[in-house]
Chain A
Amino acid sequence: MIFTVERQSFLTGLQKVANVIVSKTTYAVLQNVFIEVTDKDLILKATDLDTYIEKRIPLINKKKTGKTIVSGKKLLEAVSELTAEEFNFTLKANTLILEADGSESKFSTLDPQEYPEMPAIPKENEVHLHPEVLKECFEYTGFAVSRKIDERPSMGGVYLYITPNQLEMTATDGLRLAHIKQMGNFDKELKAIIAPKVFSLFPEGQNEVKITADASKIGLEFSDTIIISRLIEGPYPDYKRVIPAKYEHYLEVPTASFIKALRCAQVFANPLSKLVILELAPKKCCIFAETPEVGEIRQEFPATYKGEELKIGFNVNLLLEICNKINAGNLVMEITTPQSAVLIKPAEENPEQELLYLVMPIIL
């Protein structure tokens, strides 16, 4: 195997592929990337056995085809340091030699037969999308995915639900929930719980992605990249049931100043519970937090409040994460009782895109 490749395209390709590699694994071969030179181009592959990625990179020059596997992290670290425009690779026996900048790096390789085979791309449920739509939806929701996947595995992924004229994406960890509905013309129907990792693998500057899914995996095909990922097993929690249909108390605040007030309160919030209390009244709205050893804060913030006087407690971190996702100038909180889910959304309605968040209070 002998080939020459342009620096920038090799580096960005390798960075994406290396994202899949997990540092802690009992199966050592998974620390490697798979490199193959075909008649047409260079193929890089990596997997953690849940997600597979395959990326094609154009070659400047190819003298001999072949394939090998080599430590992904080490290769990435090494090429990141090199500034040459082109990299020359040669595979000799069990050594991959990289020549650039007048340096010669030699990497030990392993038998490529050892590397797990990529599964076949699913053929069913084909949907074509602009990748930015998916990325944007994930941007608004992905943060709410549960990190405690042992307890309820399905919450470890984002729930994608495509119908002919809308796309919904939902994420929750049981304490808060993020939900976005994007109008569009999608033609098909598709339901899947997708590992958040998949979204970090999207290549840049693409116009279309073909999505396919069967019962156990999803495939995403871009012009130069294929991602196949095992779907997270459901059922996904029945989130529609927990979205409150009506409310008793209405709070509208300028987003930026509310975030600022929350940040100030965060300083005084109890380090364990992260509790802040909103004290709401039609004439005056305050935020309060205290930790006996530190002190306390009571801060008034500008707001429009409709409803009876009310005190409600939240984990300030959960609230901030949500508010930070709201781009609109004002945000709305719809409260039913201090012990039930609170709905947060942008004040301005967008007919093309519906965004809503839920957060559960802390009992005072």
Chain B
Amino acid sequence: MLNRVIMLIDMDAFFAQIEQRDQPELKGKPVLVIGGPGKRTVVTASSYEAKKFGVKSGMPLYQALKLCPDAKVVFGDHEKYLNCSYELLKIYKQYTDLVEPYSIDEAFLDVTQVQSLFGTPQEIAQKIKAQVRNKLNLSCSIGIGPNKLLAKMVADFNKPDGLTIINYEDIPEMIWPLSVEKLFGVGVKISQRLNKLGINTIGDLARYPKAKLIDEFGVYGAELHNRAWGMDFSAVDPKVAEEISSIGHSYTLPYDTDELSLIKWYLDWLSSKVAERLLKDKLKARTIQLVVRFSDFKTKLVQVTLKQPIETPAEISKVAYELFLKNFKGRKIRLIGIRTGNLTNFSKQLELFNTRSKIATVFMLANKLNEKYQKTIIEPGALLVKNKARYLRKKVGCFLSHHQKRLFND
């Protein structure tokens, strides 16, 4: 494992950059990409111009607009971002098989073995950057290091359009002066605990006795210490993307509600989204989970495992609605989500007749039509009832990692 060359390619303000590319009038202006309308919506991405004002992803829109009143607000188009992400992966794969999508806009590449083909790591990075710019008219930042941890950490160094290379000998100079919360895998909670121990920079952490860290954090203490020294032996694993363990979808309601017909409608809609993805991945689900967040922000999850795997929106919605009635009837909720687990492939056992239920066949055909026309032209009648809610559902909130995984396998 000596002398590995790992790259992390990270798109610069991905969603906002795509919107600026597609709507030239937004170029050079602060842009906020949001999920849906309403007071409660949050900023899913912001352009560099907006970031300068202190806007961060996940900030409620009204707060972002206070910081940056002139910002242009744009509804996100998740399909577009996913397609773009897919195109990016295609480019990366021209250089190496070892591509591990890390999120919708980040991917690890192991280029150790391909230097004789494409040149030095720096040359490879420049080729990729040029290709991304020429083909997609987008910019990215690349971190290059001897492992995933260091590549990921230095990718942020010269954003946007950056290219940073780090070697083990550069760690004291480049990594140790950073505050400890910048260390990959350290969140707010952990960094507060570290600060209490007098550890403020990554260098402090590296110099802190490992045994004491283990006393304080258990096994994770040893891991923290290793990371502070830039150690990470994990491989770039393209298979990470292949194993799909669950598929889900959730939605923050426009207002808190306990109205059953409305909740039923959202469950129908979420089910159709989930079923669409199950179908694309040729999967059926045996476990159905219902996630509900109440007005007080407490979140609960209930689940049921069925004897027979299911696949159609009607089946999924029915199970989820039953779970809701059984557990949460009468309580006001602000977020609702469905996840499916225990996924199994369609059997390789061949069948004499087309034994899929009629509704499953109808659903499959509807899906094909929607795909062909690139928009929803057919959907279950139940979803047509609430026009208002239909309008509200241009929301991006879904589990990105899975989407990414799916695209990678298409």
Contacts and interface: CB of A to CB of B under 8 A. Distances in A.
B296 to A, nearest CB: 39
Interface in B223-277: none
Interface in B331-369: 347-353, 355-357
A339 B348 CA distance: 10
A238 B353 CA distance: 8
A141 interface: no
B357 A174 contact: no
Interface in A230-258: 237-239, 242
Interface in B301-354: 308, 347-353
A341 B352 contact: yes
B357 A315 contact: no
A297 B353 CA distance: 32
Given A176-B352, A238-B353, A362-B349, 10 more contacts: A148-B308, A172-B352, A175-B349, A175-B350, A237-B352, A273-B349, A360-B350, A361-B350, A362-B348, A363-B350
A242 B350 contact: no
A360 B355 contact: no
A152 B352 contact: no
A93 B12 CA distance: 88
* Most-contacted residue by chain A among B308, B355, B357 (CB, 10 A): B355
B349 to A, nearest CB: 5
A151 interface: yes
Contacts of A175: 349-352
A361 B351 CA distance: 8
A237 B356 CA distance: 13
A43 to B, nearest CB: 40
* Most-contacted residue by chain B among A155, A174, A273, A358 (CB, 10 A): A174
A361 B356 CA distance: 18
A278 B111 CA distance: 44
17 contacts: A151-B355, A151-B356, A155-B355, A172-B352, A172-B353, A174-B355, A175-B350, A177-B352, A238-B353, A273-B348, A340-B350, A341-B352, A360-B351, A360-B352, A362-B350, A363-B348, A363-B350
A316 to B, nearest CB: 12
Contacts of A174: 351-353, 355
A193 to B, nearest CB: 15
Contacts of A361: 350
Interface string B170-195: 00000000000000000000000000
A339 B350 contact: yes
Interface of B: 308, 347-353, 355-357
B299 to A, nearest CB: 34
* Most-contacted residue by chain B among A151, A176, A358, A361 (CB, 10 A): A151
Contacts of B350: 175, 339-340, 360-363
Interface of A: 148, 151-152, 155, 172, 174-177, 237-239, 242, 273, 315, 339-341, 358, 360-363
Nearest to A358: B352
Nearest to B344: A272
Nearest to B356: A151
A242 B348 contact: no
Contacts of B347: 273
A237 B353 contact: yes
Contacts of A176: 352
A341 B352 CA distance: 7
Contact of A360 (B349, B356, B357): B349
Contacts of A238: 353
A315 B353 CA distance: 17
Nearest to A152: B355
List 5 tightest A-B contacts by C-beta distance, closest first: A174-B355, A360-B350, A363-B348, A237-B353, A174-B351
Contacts of A239: 352
A315 B356 CA distance: 20
B283 to A, nearest CB: 16
A152 B357 contact: yes
A326 B357 CA distance: 32
B353 A242 contact: yes
Nearest to B353: A237
Contacts of B349: 175, 273, 315, 360, 362
Nearest to A313: B348
A242 B352 contact: yes
Nearest to A340: B350
Contacts of B308: 148
A273 B355 CA distance: 18
B315 to A, nearest CB: 10
A174 B350 CA distance: 9
Contacts of A177: 352
Contacts of B357: 151-152
B359 to A, nearest CB: 10
A361 B347 CA distance: 11
A81 B352 CA distance: 48
A155 B351 CA distance: 13
A363 B347 CA distance: 9
Contacts of B348: 273, 362-363
A18 to B, nearest CB: 28
B94 to A, nearest CB: 32
B102 to A, nearest CB: 31
* Most-contacted residue by chain A among B351, B352, B353, B356 (CB, 10 A): B352
Nearest to A241: B353
A152 B353 CA distance: 11
A148 B356 CA distance: 12
Nearest to A177: B352
Contacts of B355: 151-152, 155, 174
A175 B353 CA distance: 8
A91 to B, nearest CB: 44
Nearest to A315: B349
A176 B352 CA distance: 7
